[in-house]
Structure 1
Amino acid sequence: MEKEGVLTAEVVSSCISNPGHISTGLQHSYHHLSLPNHNLRDVSVLCNYVYLQKLELPHNKIKDLSCVSHMPYLVVLDASNNEISDFFGFQPPKNLKEVNFSHNRMTKMKDLSAYSSLSKLNLDYNRFSEIIGLEQCRKLTHLSLAHNKILKISGLASLPLTHLYLRGNQLETIEGLESLKNLQVLDLSVNRITSLSGLQNLHLLGSINLEKNLISQIQECKHIHDLFLLRELNLLGNPVLEQQDYRLAVVFLLQHLTLLDQEKVTVEEKVSSVNKYDPPLDVVAARDHMTHLVYQLMQPQVLFDSTLPSADSPYPMLVLTGPQGCGKRELAHRLCQEFSEYFAYGTCHTTRGPYFGEENGIDYHFVSEEEFQNMIHMGKFIQTMQYGGHRYGLTRDAIEDVASEGLACCVHMELEGVFSLKNSCFEPRYILLIPTKVEKYTNQLKSRDLYTQAQIDTAVSRIELYANTNRQRPGFFDNVIPSDDCEEAFQSLKRVMKEYLLQDEQEEGENNNSVGHEPEEKPSSPLSRSRSGTLTSHSATALEPLNSSNRNYFTKIHAELSPQKSPAELASIRRREQLIREAIVGKSPGVYSQLFKSPVQTAPSSLQNQDSGTHLCEDSSSDESRASSGLSVSSSAGALSGLVEPLDISVLDQTLETSKGQTSESPPPGADQQTSVLSSDRRPGSNVKAVLPPIPKGRKTPAASSPAPSPRPSPKPAAGEREEVEDREG
């Protein structure tokens, strides 16, 4: 009978298993029957087996399952790979949970509200064109309708589905899934889907299979960017794979992925993707610095006034930074006007157009994108940044124009520029100007009528970026000033500058001098910062500029110089030592060493070097040789040929006392030892320019080791005469 496709009791008895007891407990029953690949057509004999709980009849030729109506305890039914065309053609067992009707001939779904316990339903490889009748299946968690003819997703509203498989259908859009809040696994492979829109609210999704669809844009991943539990994504067979850097772009957009296109996502890929598409500010700054450094090295090498080391500190700079429109540019201009004897404005380059009232060459140098790129390739920039779709950059020439006048450079920039500048050899003081009243700041931006609403929103959002940088990087900024009121901010900035420039202490020192007190020594370069990052505080103990521990470039120079020197180099060193000695004792002005002391019109003292025959010990950079602070190549090159040991400050104290006793005229009480003011036509609106003065008042000359000086000091030689003396000595 089995050969004819009719199931017999003998066959059933040989295949039944899992014995148990019936409800009375007096008779035995069998709960599991499995009959795969028996070529069965008729299974009506199963009507007698009412206690079956699991029935498996795969790979037969069964067309009728009405016998299931007599199995009230049935839990699992597997009738896959048969010839069934009647969808659930039997009375519903009240406990039926799992049903597998895959690979049959069903064409239309019907209402399954009577199957209240149904949790898993497999309808793969049938002929369904729509999903209906499942609305009342409140326990259905797994639904598979792969390889049917479904055109759209519907009829799944409010179902507790966790797994949904719709592979191999005719779907073109993802819709009807918005209410499936419990969905965790979704298979939409082998369809015609072009967009991932419709998945953005499924926050429990952990796996999405979109293999062999029509997704062509990487930007489609933005729809699933906020699905933080998503771990697996398969986009194999989509046109999007042909786009450049496809994998890195997807990994960047979906940082939480662990498996992409069936390959594990490595930590290295995640880091590379972030560094490529949204690198941290310090990474961008490091890349820009390397670019500028390479292009600079390709140009002819020259010595710059703004970077040659002096006897105590590098070139002083001041940087004002803050969000867009916070007033840093206006404050920079006012500061340069108020402290014109100390600061000059460093004009940056930009590719954006001028705002109303801005002047080319004063506020910015406005250039085209092509010209900006050419300047990069020429090694012109020391710092560049991109903000708001435009490029900004600070050139070496902008700083050099200020440094050649013996002034400190004051510039303003966004936070990206600060990160870039911190990679360079410059060590400015950084002052953060930050709004504390967001509403007032927003109204100020709107009142200017210069920015779009998107630009205003971006500027406001960056306030927190500046605040976080200040909190997370202690010492990144040297001072923080609220910028809500422009006038108050400028007054605060003036107070900070006076502290940096030691003007308050200088005034106190002059008052003390007038009553017979000797002023304390002050740091010689207030706007400098040590290589280790320690700030020079105006309230700290005075630093000795000739102490090697306070000289930023000592180690760098020492490593570059050769211990072997030719006679010409030794002669040059002796000449530089003499010039430095003269600058230290006040005969000639130093280079940047006393940049921030107020100049006077006359020099009351004409101290002479009383130890002209004795050379300094090996340790000093010799760029002190120019009275106007612009270092010539010929006079500065010798500074790189040797080192001298740091001077003993006690010797300087004794010599200065001796020198004071030998001057023909004593300086009036409270007057500093400073040089005369020379005229300059390089700064419009100013007829005078402070020559860099000697060391601070109170520093003493070294004790004389040469023969006793004559009773009257010889007059200070003129500039031309001094050059002749230097040539004879050299």
Structure 2
Amino acid sequence: MAKDGILSAEMVSEGMVHQERFVNRLQHMYRSLSLSGHNLSDVSVLSNYVHLQKLILPHNQIKDLSCVSHMPCLVILDASHNEISTFFHFEPPKKLKEVNFSYNLLTEMKSLFAYESLSKLILDYNSISEITGLEQCYRLTHLSLAHNKISRISGLDGLPLTYLCLRGNQLQKIDGLENVKSLQVLDLSLNRVTCLTGLQSLQLLCSINLEKNQISEIDECKHIHNLLLLRDLNLLENPLQEQPNYRLAVIFLLQHLTMLDQEVVTAEEKVTSANKYDPPMDLVAARDHMTNLVYQLMQPQVLFDSTLPSVDSPYPLLVLTGPQGCGKRELVHRLCQEFCDYFCYGLSHATREPYSGEENGIDYHFINEEDFQNMIRMGKFIQTMQYKGHRFGLSRDTIEGAAREGLACCVHMELEGALSLKKSCFKPRFILVIPSQEENYISHLKSRSLYTPAQIDAAVSRIDLYIRTNEQHPGFFDNVVPCDDWEEAYQSLRQIVMEDLLLEEEEGQRRGKVSTSTGHDSAEKAPPQQSEPASEPLASLSASPLDPSGTQFNNIQAKIGSHKSSAEAASIRRREQLLREALLGKSPGVCRQLFKRSDETRRSSALSVPSSAGALMELLAVSIPGQIQEALKDDPGSSQASLSGVDHPMVAVSPSSEKCPKSNLKSILPPIPNGRKSPAATNPGFSPNLSTNPGVSEGGK
């Protein structure tokens, strides 16, 4: 213990520590003096120790450190827990790097421009109210001003700080740190901070301590959402911790965290938070499907009109999907208008308000959220989705209404709805309607004056979502139709539908009949032409009393051609035999093979057989033996269903489209074989005043 608080030479000798260090094979001697807790008040004797490099003087009563002016080699100075009231009141040692003046009586900071080597400054537990004098400390990386009276952050612009501690001050907001780009660790605990604005530009931050502040909203974490290096966040004892699901909400907003409130963030918590606040579309669709299915099973079970005899012939459902405002609803309306004997427009329910020009019961069934939830609980929906804060759903009654008319249901929806519908018992055919020219799409949305700029940007961004889905999930969409030109889009869609309904062959036959009747007079004047004798099966068909004129045979014979190889004749005989077995009930599933068509068959060879299912049925019907015809008389309904394939073939496999090689060839079209029960009835949900102009409002779907 020093006598009268004065440091003597003997005490200096006892406190001196010699340390040897080896750097780059050169020996250096570092002299360190440690005199902690000796109640020293006068250390002027240290002026004689000019070679000191480390001076440790904590827990004394020192007020004057002017002796440091005589230590040009001093690197580290620790004078904490003393009674120093003058800020750096000594000549600056050129090599001074670390200074600790915590627990003293400092009230203000002065300029430290002369201390060019200073890299660490600790001024905790003083009475400093403003940060000043550090503007030219270009090597300062560590600054601690904990438990002072600072109410505003200033004077730190351009400093290379990596660590900043302002714990226990009077800060209410975070500002003045925008230009401290190197900051990595920030301690603002025990303040009065209410928001996190001001931190968003600090891209190197990896640790933030905000314990015991006044942050009350979880949304404040959005200000630090883009700090990708942030790993440790402490929000203990803030009001926002009282909110439900606080931890999961913060983890969801800051997925890169590894520590939250001094606890490790697990992978399970990250997955749970994502599934809760932004679940993948597949997960949402699965949840909606399970909800709808459970509520459906709670209702009295009935046999639906859309239920067909087997899983090989599901109820036909055509779905157009694409981004907002791409024209898919107009395409559906026009398709249902032209093919009204095959399709019925499926009207969906929506909780949003009608757009300008929309009508309830024509564009959507507009209902409120409460009614929508009641319909869910009553098991009314087969598909539901949420889009832009509104709910949309396709009801079972819509499907059943179309099925009772003997029609396929044609609907339009966003991708979320398509995912939900894919999980249902139905096997729809999905056609993607997608803009390929972004500028034209944006101009179209702006011309409708229905969307804000933010909504337009969101709609455009979803184009990539549809493209990625088509690329990453081959077969998800059966066809892709560009919609930059509305008329061309409809013609492409029409061609797809005609191929699926086997209507191209029927049109070809009708054109052939017209040309035959037109050239009848000239044929009378022309000399008869010799033709090679037909094969035996076709010759017997031509003499059938069911077709005395032989017109049907002649048309088909002309289509088949006069020259047939043995393989062609064998193929025709094999198809006749398959049909006879199907009509007798010996092979009920084999008739499906008669209607399968593929691109390979169309491209393979010169073999040409009747491509119209109806024509082939009519052709083969005339060759049915008498006992078979008698068997059919006992079941006229079966005969009628079997021989009515021209208008409604029993099963048709949709051909693969060259426009979409990823088509999964679902056997869903044409519609159920009974045909429309009330041909005179208007198409449900179809507006007779619908314009074919591509600018017609689509109403957000």
Shorter-normalised TM range: 0.7 to 0.9
Partner residue of 2:681? 683
Q: Name the SS for the 2:370 alignment partner.
A: helix
Instruction: Give a deviation string over 1:345-401, Cα, whole Å, max 9, x none.
Output: 111111123333333223221212211111101000010111122211001111111
Q: Distance in 1 between matches of 2:41 and 2:117?
A: 28
Superposition deviation, residue 681 in structure 1: 5.3
Residues 314 and 426, structure 2, Cα contact 8 Å, conserved in 1: yes
Superposition deviation, residue 8 in structure 1: 1.2
Instruction: Give a deviation string over 1:458-506, Cα, whole Å, max 9, x none.
Output: 2122112111211222211111111111111000111111222233356
What is the 5 A alignment of 1:467-482? 467-482=467-482
Partner residue of 1:461? 461
Matched residue type, 2:321: T
Which region of structure 1 is more displaced relative to structure 2, 484-493 or 382-391? 382-391
Instruction: Give a deviation string over 1:117-172, Cα, whole Å, max 9, x none.
Output: 00000000011000010101000000000000001001111111000000000000
Superposition deviation, residue 271 in structure 1: 0.8
Q: Which structure ranks higher in relative contact order (CA pairs < 8 Å, sequence separation ≥ 6)?
A: 2
Residues 382 and 395, structure 1, Cα contact 8 Å, conserved in 2: yes
Relative to the length of structure 2, the TM-score reads: 0.75
> Does residue 148 of structure 2 align to residue 148 of structure 1?
yes
Q: Distance in 1 between matches of 2:586 and 2:289?
A: 37
Q: Distance in 2 between matches of 1:609 and 1:44?
A: 132
Superposition deviation, residue 43 in structure 1: 1.2
Classify 1:676/1:98 alpha carbon distance in 2 versus 1 (closer, same or farther; 3 Å): closer
Q: Name the SS for the 1:4 alignment partner.
A: helix
> Does residue 380 of structure 2 align to residue 380 of structure 1?
yes
> Does residue 443 of structure 2 align to residue 443 of structure 1?
yes
Matched residue type, 1:516: Q
Partner residue of 2:272? 272
Q: Name the SS for the 1:198 alignment partner.
A: coil
Instruction: Give a deviation string over 1:422-471, Cα, whole Å, max 9, x none.
Output: 11111111100011122211221222223333322221221121112112
Which region of structure 1 is more displaced relative to structure 2, 74-83 or 30-39? 30-39
Q: Distance in 1 between matches of 2:264 and 2:674?
A: 73
Q: Distance in 2 between matches of 1:581 and 1:338?
A: 39
Superposition deviation, residue 519 in structure 1: 7.8
Q: Distance in 2 between matches of 1:579 and 1:389?
A: 57
Matched residue type, 1:207: S
> Does residue 105 of structure 2 align to residue 101 of structure 1?
no
Partner residue of 2:202? 202
Classify 1:162/1:178 alpha carbon distance in 2 versus 1 (closer, same or farther; 3 Å): same
Q: Name the SS for the 1:360 alignment partner.
A: coil
Q: Distance in 2 between matches of 1:92 and 1:494?
A: 87
> Does residue 557 of structure 2 align to residue 516 of structure 1?
yes
Q: Name the SS for the 2:5 alignment partner.
A: coil
Partner residue of 2:320? 320
Q: Distance in 1 between matches of 2:639 and 2:287?
A: 36
Partner residue of 2:213? 213
Q: Distance in 1 between matches of 2:93 and 2:142?
A: 19
What is the 5 A alignment of 1:296-445? 296-310=296-310, 312-445=312-445
Classify 1:676/1:343 alpha carbon distance in 2 versus 1 (closer, same or farther; 3 Å): closer
Q: Name the SS for the 1:248 alignment partner.
A: helix
Residues 282 and 419, structure 1, Cα contact 8 Å, conserved in 2: yes
Q: Name the SS for the 1:121 alignment partner.
A: strand
Superposition deviation, residue 342 in structure 1: 1.8
Q: Name the SS for the 1:433 alignment partner.
A: strand
Residues 56 and 79, structure 1, Cα contact 8 Å, conserved in 2: yes
Q: Name the SS for the 1:430 alignment partner.
A: strand
Classify 1:123/1:612 alpha carbon distance in 2 versus 1 (closer, same or farther; 3 Å): farther
Classify 1:675/1:482 alpha carbon distance in 2 versus 1 (closer, same or farther; 3 Å): closer
Q: Name the SS for the 2:6 alignment partner.
A: coil
Instruction: Give a deviation string over 1:182-228, Cα, whole Å, max 9, x none.
Output: 00000000000000000010000000000000000001011101100
Q: Distance in 2 between matches of 1:361 and 1:58?
A: 84
Matched residue type, 2:419: F
Q: Distance in 2 between matches of 1:19 and 1:393?
A: 79
Residues 311 and 545, structure 1, Cα contact 8 Å, conserved in 2: no
Partner residue of 2:54? 54
Superposition deviation, residue 580 in structure 1: 6.7
Residues 252 and 273, structure 2, Cα contact 8 Å, conserved in 1: yes
Superposition deviation, residue 611 in structure 1: 10
Q: Distance in 2 between matches of 1:270 and 1:627?
A: 61
Residues 147 and 169, structure 1, Cα contact 8 Å, conserved in 2: yes
Return the structure number with greater helix share: 2
Q: Distance in 1 between matches of 2:355 and 2:61?
A: 82
Q: Name the SS for the 1:156 alignment partner.
A: coil
Residues 501 and 597, structure 1, Cα contact 8 Å, conserved in 2: no
Residues 599 and 677, structure 1, Cα contact 8 Å, conserved in 2: no
Partner residue of 1:74? 74
Which region of structure 1 is more displaced relative to structure 2, 221-230 or 356-365? 356-365
Q: Distance in 2 between matches of 1:288 and 1:676?
A: 32
Instruction: Give a deviation string over 1:54-78, Cα, whole Å, max 9, x none.
Output: 1111111111111111100000001
Matched residue type, 2:407: L
Superposition deviation, residue 598 in structure 1: 8.7
Partner residue of 1:694? none
Partner residue of 1:664? none
Matched residue type, 1:277: Y
Residues 312 and 545, structure 1, Cα contact 8 Å, conserved in 2: no
Residues 151 and 170, structure 1, Cα contact 8 Å, conserved in 2: yes
Q: Name the SS for the 1:419 alignment partner.
A: helix
Q: Distance in 2 between matches of 1:676 and 1:95?
A: 98
Q: Which runs of 5+ in 1 are unaligned?
A: 22-27, 521-541, 547-576, 591-595, 615-623, 630-673, 687-730
Classify 1:426/1:7 alpha carbon distance in 2 versus 1 (closer, same or farther; 3 Å): same
Residues 345 and 683, structure 2, Cα contact 8 Å, conserved in 1: no
Matched residue type, 2:188: L
Q: Distance in 2 between matches of 1:626 and 1:11?
A: 121
Relative to the length of structure 1, the TM-score reads: 0.72
Q: Distance in 1 between matches of 2:368 and 2:640?
A: 39
Superposition deviation, residue 19 in structure 1: 5.7
Residues 255 and 270, structure 1, Cα contact 8 Å, conserved in 2: yes
Classify 1:35/1:341 alpha carbon distance in 2 versus 1 (closer, same or farther; 3 Å): same
Partner residue of 2:515? none
Q: Distance in 2 between matches of 1:358 and 1:598?
A: 41
Q: Distance in 1 between matches of 2:133 and 2:677?
A: 96
* Count of aligned pairs between the two proteins: 566
Residues 281 and 419, structure 1, Cα contact 8 Å, conserved in 2: yes
Q: Distance in 1 between matches of 2:261 and 2:450?
A: 47
Which region of structure 1 is more displaced relative to structure 2, 350-359 or 68-77? 350-359
